[in-house]
Amino acid sequence: MKVILLTLLVSFSLFGQIEKKDVGVLKGGTYQILIPTNWNKKLVMYAHGYQFQGQKPQDANLGLDKRLQVILDRGFAIAASDYPDVGFVLPEGIDATEELRQAFVKKVAKPDSTFMMGHSMGGGITLGIMENYGENYHGALPLCPLSSRPYLQCRKEFDMYATFNGLFPRIIPSLKEIFDVNSSVGYVNLAQAGPKIGQIMKAIMEKDSVLAKAFAKRFDLKLKDLGGSLFFNQNVLRDLAIRFGGNPFDNLQTVYSGFPDDLLTNRLAERLVATKNPNPLFSRYDRTGNINKPVLLVHTIYDQLIPPTYAVVNYENMVHQLQKDQYFTVKYTNGQAHCAFTAQQMATSFDTLRNWVKKGIKPQGGFLE
């Protein structure tokens, strides 16, 4: 494996500041390694979240030292891969993270202890790492993670579009258009997010504001976040359409419930037959719940992209089925958006995980100040 290292050595006397920064390229993409002046020979491997098409992989971890300052302050080095591509790259992110961990040991040193940490899709990568490479780690901190089976998480976005397009037609692209790889439906640039979301919400409210509120509640959303969630889902679904070369989902036999009028919703819902096998993408590093080291999952009480009632319960059940409950604890915060954690909450979570690993006493789940 060829490793290219560009090393910048900068010394500071301030606590928690970066003494050494390694930036380089591996098979799994560009990466960075941050080592603080007070390095304690311990390491945190970090996995970032989902990026839209049109973004650059190397932009994913810009400002990482500021975002994870609480980790550097505790004397931990940080290593983070940018992955080889953007979009749904959960399997590639797992491979890239393991490749970088091995490179750290080879080029820097073997840490006294290693922890895994990630946000959103990176939280899913964190769980995948612990399920497949857990022997290399002492514990993990998945934050607002994609913790359900990837197929189920993405199917939720599909079902939201199918029912929305039935009840609120011609406001957003149809699933048929999105999964037609030759259609003109493209990715919505992030720079256009504000105006686009505003247009969606205006059309929704003009159509039926009462139904819109009930629809949002059905998918664990606040009404104000419905447009943004639909905007995000369009990009995710189109990303999957291009990767699969078609549609991996089939809802011809799905019966939808939880709406003001379930019969009407099912009659109007957009229906598609799957044209592609979902397994080539979703089965690789599929979620199993097979963990053997402490995992502290932290979630906001409200999340417009990965609702905790959906994500946490699904993974908790997998862990419980394998009788691995002793390795799994969930904490929740008062956060009101996806991954909306304060620096103090991240610090407290990380300290709780470290204490669990050090003393071997599983912390009680529940509210995190």
Tens of pLDDT, residues 112-154: 999 999 999 999 999 999 999 999 999 999 999 999 999 999 9
Same domain, 63 and 140: yes
Q: Which of 358, 360, 353 is nearest to 140 (CA)?
A: 353
Same domain, 19 and 54: yes
Same domain, 126 and 259: no
Same domain, 93 and 208: no
Same domain, 120 and 159: no
Same domain, 293 and 264: no
Same domain, 26 and 137: yes
Report the DSSP pairing between strands 76-81 and 29-36: antiparallel
Q: Taking the mean position of all CA atoms in its chain, how far away is CA 332?
A: 16
Report the DSSP pairing between strands 328-333 and 366-367: parallel
Same domain, 218 and 292: no
Same domain, 167 and 246: yes
Report the DSSP pairing between strands 18-26 and 29-36: antiparallel
Q: For residue 16, what pLDDT is reported?
A: 60
Reported in sequence order, the residue ranges of 108-263 that DSSP labels E, i.e. its strands, are 113-119, 139-143
Helix (H) or strand (E) holding 330: strand 328-333
What gap in Å lies between CA 137 and CA 140, rounded to an integer? Answer: 8
**In this predicted model, what pLDDT tens digit does every residue of 291-350 receive, in sequence order?**
999 999 999 999 999 999 888 999 999 999 999 999 999 999 999 999 999 999 999 999
Question: Does residue 180 register a pLDDT over 60?
Answer: yes
Task: Look at residues 251, 281, 311 and tell me which one is the last residue of a structural domain.
Answer: 281
CATH of residue 343's domain is 3.40.50.1820
Task: Look at residues 281, 297, 315 and tell me which one is the last residue of a structural domain.
Answer: 281
Q: Which domain holds residue 333?
A: 4-148+288-367
Retrieve residue 257's tokens.
Answer: 């419930």
Number of structural domains in the chain: 2
Query: 360 pLDDT band (50/70/90 cuts)?
Result: very high
pTM of this prediction exceeds 0.85: yes
Same domain, 209 and 334: no
**In this predicted model, what pLDDT tens digit does every residue of 205-243 receive, in sequence order?**
999 999 999 999 999 999 999 999 999 999 999 999 999
Query: Length of the chain in residues, anyone?
Result: 369
Question: Does residue 2 register a pLDDT over 70?
Answer: no
Task: Look at residues 281, 297, 313 and tell me which one is the last residue of a structural domain.
Answer: 281
Same domain, 120 and 233: no
Same domain, 268 and 202: yes
